[in-house]
Amino acid sequence: MMRTDAVTLPLAPAGAATERPISIAIVAMGGQGGGVLTGWLVRLAEDAGWVAQSTSVPGVAQRTGATIYYVEMMPAANGRRPILAQMPTPGDVDIVLASEFMEAGRSILRGIVTPDRTTLIASSHRSLAIGEKSAPGEGIADSGAVVEAIGVTARRQIVFDMDALAVRNGSVISAAMFGALAGSEALPFDVAAFHAVIQHEGKGVAASLKAFDAAYDRARSGPPPAATAPAPVPAAPTAPADRRAARLLARLHDVVPEPCRAMARAGLAKVVDFQDERYGDEYLDLLGQAVELDRMLGGEAQGHALSLNAAKYIANAMAYDDVIRVADLKTRAGRRARVEREVGVRPEQLLHTVEYMHPRMEEVTGTLPLRLGRWVQARPRLYAWLDRRVNKGRRVRTYSLRWFVALYLLGGLRGLRRGSLRHAEEVAHRDAWLRHAREAALRDYALGVEVLKCRRLVKGYSDTHARGLSKFDRVTAAIRRIEDRPDAVDWARRLREIAVKDGDDGSLDGAIRTVESFC
């Protein structure tokens, strides 16, 4: 029998257990009205004669860290005010309100959502984090893991797209979340008390009540039944009215095998939009060479992988992002219409956008004629002097007359693009990549496909383009070192995938050193 010297003291309760407060945690991003929702909850409790307290812990920035708002409320007992907590305690939170789906997941990781206590009310929409947007490849977090976690960790869940519901009703997500909370009946207050809180606000009352009522009904009724009507069959594509487009499409059908035509049509549209009809012919010339190689190597048995990836990545390589392209896209009517739609501009409102632009001397020399651009590059002192005057951040009001005209004229320089320094550099780099892919495919079909896929590393403009180009060059150089190895395809794929996800942890450098160790 084990002996212990521990002293055990009697810990009998001092008296009857007191009633515990209702605890509510709100996780919201900047601009989503988390503070407004918190204020509504405090007023809701106080209007009922309860005692309520709220605190908040802000995140690092608007989207790199959500603010956690915490509310506790309970009735006063015998005229004595309760002492309420200032932060949520894991395992002791009754209601969690999440303004975005991944914030619901983070609430679960923090331990404030528990299966024996917590009602989780969350919006199912996604607002991508900075890391998700800036990832070179597919950086969007998997929402499926959150769906599975919610089903296990929450006692009750109410999840739907509250952001879309709020927009449809001309309001903001805080009103929809307040309505979903009322519909959950997790608080002992009737719906009239919730309405009174919104009406007391005095601003945007009609729209807020409309969104509140819609969310209240949605929370009480559950998801709508799935549609049973069959999906409409898309109409067969008709011949384009433009004879030039018809000629290019006819040539595409003659050159490209049927399984690859959809991708080739998308690539053709992209390069023609980037430059002109003649550029489309150049795309089909290059794609035709890849298709011919694919046929020679028996690509049909490989699912035409060489042709399919060539159709995609040749178009991406030809439609590179230069300052002419960026200026063109920023001044298109379709872009303005999209922004107006996304921010919900009403007919009586005016839209102004302020964009941050930081051009470098590389972008300026890239737009110059080939000889002039190389002449400037060959004079370091002149280049540095010009760079000090160009390399500055600027806040540009895109739709002001001065800046719109400047950007519109810059975007109209596409006719001069073929003679520019940047175009010569892009063509040289593109042709070297295609030669490498051809040589690799003749050695190993799958290896040629992997070299083609490496082009996904090059994207964007300015610093983003420079970083991607550096990764591309380092990965393809490493692939050349291992082309004779039997596991060359596996290593090529591994290097590319590491480069796509590589951040500041040096994982690509480590992989390349590993390759160099057995070369």
**Radius of gyration, alpha carbons of the chain:** 30
Token pair recorded at residue 160: 């739907």
pTM of the model: 0.69
- For residue 201, pLDDT over 90 is answered with no
- Give the chain's mean pLDDT: 85
pLDDT tens-digit readout, 234-261: 443 444 546 778 899 999 999 999 999 9
Lowest mean pLDDT among 120-124, 198-202, 306-310, 494-498: 198-202
Lowest mean pLDDT among 130-139, 203-212, 393-402: 130-139
Instruction: Write out the DSSP string of 208-249.
Output: HHHHHHHHHHHHHH-SPPPP-SPPPPPPPPPPPSSHHHHHHH
Token pair recorded at residue 137: 């490849």
- Region 457-485: mean pLDDT is 89
CA distance 439 to 445: 10
Confidence of residue 175 (pLDDT cuts 50, 70, 90): very high
Angstrom distances, CA of residue 95 to CA of 51, 64, 73, 118, 401:
17, 24, 12, 5, 51
pLDDT tens-digit readout, 362-382: 989 999 999 999 999 999 999
Nearest to 22 by CA among 52, 62, 48, 63: 52
Q: Helix (H, G, I), strand (E, B), or coil: what is residue 433? A: helix
- Region 354-360: mean pLDDT is 86
Q: Does residue 113 contact residue 477 with C-beta atoms inside 8 Å?
A: no
pLDDT tens-digit readout, 274-286: 999 999 999 999 9
Q: Is the dihedral of CA 401, 404, 408, 409 positive or negative?
A: positive
- Region 383-387: mean pLDDT is 93
Return the percentage of the chain with pLDDT > 90, whole number: 52
What's the full length of the chain, in residues? 519
pLDDT tens-digit readout, 285-328: 999 999 999 999 999 999 999 999 999 999 999 999 999 999 99
CA 460 to chain centre: 15
**Residue extent(s) of CATH 3.40.920.10 domains in the chain:** 22-221
Selected residue with higher pLDDT from 460 and 322: 322
- State the pLDDT at residue 178: 95
Which of 151-185 are b and which e, b meaning 16 or more Cβ less than 10 Å from the residue's Cβ? eebbeebbbbbbbebbbebebbbbbbbbbbbbbbe
- State the pLDDT at residue 120: 93
Selected residue with higher pLDDT from 465 and 29: 465
Fold assignment, 22-221: Pyruvate-ferredoxin Oxidoreductase; domain 3 (3.40.920)
Token pair recorded at residue 123: 């919006």
- State the pLDDT at residue 78: 75
Residue 420 carries which DSSP code? B
- For residue 135, pLDDT over 80 is answered with no
